[in-house]
Every structure is written in structure tokens, then in C-alpha cells.
């Protein structure tokens, strides 16, 4: 997943909010700082490049999947239709009404992490006649089968859905497969009939099905920011799908993947799940918190582009808001001028008419 170069680092830094602090600085100083950060942060970029240095094996699932599901020492457990081979883990075969899942049995206590999922969805179903998709989980409970892509509804934690079947025929403004994210504290229900639109934090369409190559999904959680990226074109580059701030997720939850088929089906294969620790500094106050007690939440349920409450979103939305205010003022000013001109003309016409009458 080659993403090297300064540009990538800058984008990473932006996402990490490192540049926020620099926003108020004078331009010259900002550029200088940016260059310095660029040069010292290449290590950081390497993490998302798939460097093994920060790979956490206890949370990763890789070929040939030795020891998966066997014995009490196993770090991954599976359920349902899941089939473990030496080349892939098939959550469901291309058959109707199957459900399968695979779960990391080791809770994750990393505060900042990035999960790379290599997967393949393929089947004999023609256009729109396949389903239902895969969900990637970071949740309080594991191995709780249910109706949400093979996992329980009212889950507690994070879900990223790769929804391959359009249930909501009113939602024609987006194409499927559609990738979306949802955070739940247990109170929300995922609505299949709306393809989860009511509860989603953001999403994107991605042609992930029946590709000759494997497809990739990256989920990053760091400093309250959730970012989902996809690599589905075999070009070895990430495309941003979701980027939202104001997200709170605890430590101590479990990673998992699940899938389900209904009347329509697909092979849903996980090739690998690789967990990378992100080296991010936290304030002593943050470090002293008990991160396991955090309740999953999102402070904004708007489009990520409109994040204004979030500190890391500020630097992008502030100039926008400024422009909006400026445009509004300009419109108001123009309105006043037009009114004044029209008023003056009307007044003049009346005066002339009055003159003619008297
Ligand atoms: Ca659906």
C-alpha cells in the first residue's frame, strides 16, 4: 500500500490534527514547521504503508491462519458458515441464508490504531442480484450472532459496513456497493430497509465486487477522528471514504468481521486483517483517563465536511464559514443597494406623476 511522499504525510497530519495547532501561526512559520514535520514524520507514514514495525500480531489475521479457532490459546475464533482455508477465510459461501463471523479473542488496548482489511466479495450473481455484504467490527461483545450482517443489533462500538445489496429503493442517489460507518452505544438499531442510512456517519460507493484483484479497506481511529479509506482499483493507493471527528471509542473492545447472505448471496472472503499501532502522543490528562470506561459516541452526526465542533475539523471549516458569512453579507448588501435603487426610482416616478397631477 505505497502511499509515500510528503503529500501523504501532510494529509495524514491533517487528519491527525497536527496541523491544527499551526493554523494560527504566520504563513512562513507554518510552511517551515510543515517541512520539518514532513521530514520527521516519514516514520509515521510508514505505519499506514504496511510496515511490520507497528504491526500488532495479536490483533492481526494473516495467511496461513495457523491456530485460528483451535484451542483456548487461539487469538481468533469463528462462528457459523465461516470456513478457514490456507488462502482465505470465507465468512459465507455463495449460498442463500448463510451467516458467519470471525473474532479477535484478544481485547485491543491501543488508543490509536489502524486496521487494514484485505477482502474479496465475489459470486455468480449478476448485477444487483447478490448480497448482503461484510461488516467490520470494533465492539464490546464478540461472537453474538444476529441480523446485522451476521452480528447482533444494538451493538456497542463501531461498525463499518460494506453493503453490497440495495434494500432501500428510495435511496437511488447512491450506487452500491456502499461503505458506511456507524457508532452505537447500544441504543441504536441498524435499519436494513434503509441500508443503515439513518444511523450512518458517512460513507462512499465503491466497486468492490467480482474484481480480479483483492480489495482493501483501512479503518483508522486516532485522537477522536475516524477515517475510512478504500483501495479497490488495484492501484495501490488509498481513497478517502469517511473522515469524521468528534468520535469517542474506548479501549478493550474486540475486532471482528461478519457477513450474511439472504435470498441473494456471494462469497465473502477475508484475506487478512492487519492491525497497526499509531504512534500518537497524548496529554498527561488523556493518558490518566480510564479509556476502557469511554462510552462510544459521536459529537456530530452531520456530514464530515461540516464538522465544526471538532477541533481537528476546525481548520477546514473555519475558512468555509468565513466565506459563507462574507457571501451572506455581500448578498445582504447587494439586496439593500437594489432595494434603495428601486425605492429611489419608484419615489422619483411618483414625484414626477404628482407633479403632472398638480
Ligand atoms: Ca443493504
Task: With a cut of 70, list the residues of the chain below it in pLDDT.
Answer: 1-52, 300-325, 353-358
Ligand 1 centroid, distance to 345 Cα (angstroms): 60
Q: How many angstroms is it from 262 CA to the middle of ligand 1?
A: 11
Residue 260 Cα to ligand 1 middle (Å): 11
User: Contacts for 76-85 with beta carbons within 8 Å, 24 or more apart?
Assistant: 76/102, 76/103, 76/104, 76/105, 77/102, 77/103, 77/105, 77/142, 77/143, 78/102, 78/103, 79/103, 79/143, 79/145, 80/145, 80/150
CA of 192 from ligand 1 middle (Å) equals 6
pLDDT of the residue at 337: 85
- CA dist., res. 113 & res. 48, Å (int): 10
- The dihedral of CA 14, 15, 18, 23: what is its sign? positive
Q: What angle do CA 324, 327, 330 make, to 5 degrees?
A: 150
Residues lying with their CB under 5 A of ligand 1, a single-atom ion:
163, 165, 167, 195
What is the Cα–Cα distance from 71 to 304, expressed in whole angstroms? 43
pLDDT of residue 2: 39
Dist. CA 177 → ligand 1 center (Å): 9
Instruction: Give the contacts of 25 (CB within 8 A, at least 6 positions apart).
Output: 33
- pLDDT of the residue at 177: 96
Centre of ligand 1 to C-alpha 134, Å, is 10
Radius of gyration of the chain (CA): 25
86 Cα: distance to centroid of ligand 1 (angstroms): 30
Q: Label the pairing between strands 254-260 and 99-104.
A: antiparallel
Cell of 345: 426610482
Count of Cβ atoms closer than 10 Å to residue 126 Cβ: 8
Centroid of ligand 1 to alpha carbon of 120 (angstroms): 17
| Centre of ligand 1 from the C-alpha of residue 264, in Å | 11
Gap between the Cα atoms of 66 and 124, Å rounded: 30
pLDDT at 348: 83
Q: What is the pLDDT of residue 330?
A: 85
Other Cβ atoms within 10 Å of 308 Cβ, number: 15
Measure 132 CA to ligand 1 centroid, in angstroms: 6
Ligand 1 centroid distance, CA of 150 (Å)? 13
Kindly state the cell numbers that stand for 94.
455463495
Query: Quick one: pLDDT at residue 342?
Result: 81
β-pairing verdict for 215-222 and 178-185? unpaired
- Report residue 4 as a C-alpha cell: 509515500
pLDDT of 325 reads: 66
Q: What are phi and psi of 178, to 5 degrees?
A: -125, 130
Amino acid at each position: 500500500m505505497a502511499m509515500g511522499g510528503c503529500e501523504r504525510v501532510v494529509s495524514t497530519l491533517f487528519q491527525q490534527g497536527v496541523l491544527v495547532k499551526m493554523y494560527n501561526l504566520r504563513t512562513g512559520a507554518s510552511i517551515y514547521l510543515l517541512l520539518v514535520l514532513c521530514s520527521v514524520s516519514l516514520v509515521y507514514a510508514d505505519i499506514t504503508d504496511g510496515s511490520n514495525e507497528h504491526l500488532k500480531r495479536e490483533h492481526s489475521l494473516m495467511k496461513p491462519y495457523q491456530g485460528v479457532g483451535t484451542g483456548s490459546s487461539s487469538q481468533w475464533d469463528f462462528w457459523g458458515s465461516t470456513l478457514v482455508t490456507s488462502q482465505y477465510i470465507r465468512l459465507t459461501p455463495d449460498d442463500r441464508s448463510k451467516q458467519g463471523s470471525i473474532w479477535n479473542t484478544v481485547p485491543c488496548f491501543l488508543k490509536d490504531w489502524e486496521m487494514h482489511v484485505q477482502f474479496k466479495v465475489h459470486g455468480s450473481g449478476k448485477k444487483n442480484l447478490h448480497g448482503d455484504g461484510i461488516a467490520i467490527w470494533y465492539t464490546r461483545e464478540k461472537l453474538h450472532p444476529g441480523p446485522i450482517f451476521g452480528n447482533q443489533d444494538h451493538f456497542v462500538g463501531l461498525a463499518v459496513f460494506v453493503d453490497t445489496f440495495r434494500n432501500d429503493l428510495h435511496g437511488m442517489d447512491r450506487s452500491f456497493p456502499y461503505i458506511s460507518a456507524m457508532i452505537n452505544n447500544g441504543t441504536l438499531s441498524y435499519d436494513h430497509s434503509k441500508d443503515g442510512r439513518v444511523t450512518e456517519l458517512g460513507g462512499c460507493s465503491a466497486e468492490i465486487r467480482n474484481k480480479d484483484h483483492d480489495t482493501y479497506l483501512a479503518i483508522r481511529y486516532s485522537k477522536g477522528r475516524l477515517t475510512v479509506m478504500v483501495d479497490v482499483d488495484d492501484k495501490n493507493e488509498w481513497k478517502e471514504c469517511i473522515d469524521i471527528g468528534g468520535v469517542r471509542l474506548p479501549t478493550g473492545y474486540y475486532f471482528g468481521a461478519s457477513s450474511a447472505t439472504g435470498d441473494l448471496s456471494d462469497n465473502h472472503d477475508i484475506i487478512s486483517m492487519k492491525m497497526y499501532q499509531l504512534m500518537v502522543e497524548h496529554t498527561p490528562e488523556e493518558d490518566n483517563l480510564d479509556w476502557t470506561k469511554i462510552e462510544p459516541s459521536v459529537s456530530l452526526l452531520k456530514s464530515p465536511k461540516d464538522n465544526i465542533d471538532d477541533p481537528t475539523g476546525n481548520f477546514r471549516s473555519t475558512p468555509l464559514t468565513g466565506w459563507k458569512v462574507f457571501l451572506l453579507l455581500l448578498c445582504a448588501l447587494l439586496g439593500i443597494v437594489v432595494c434603495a435603487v428601486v425605492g429611489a426610482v419608484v419615489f422619483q416616478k411618483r414625484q414626477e406623476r404628482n407633479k403632472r397631477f398638480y
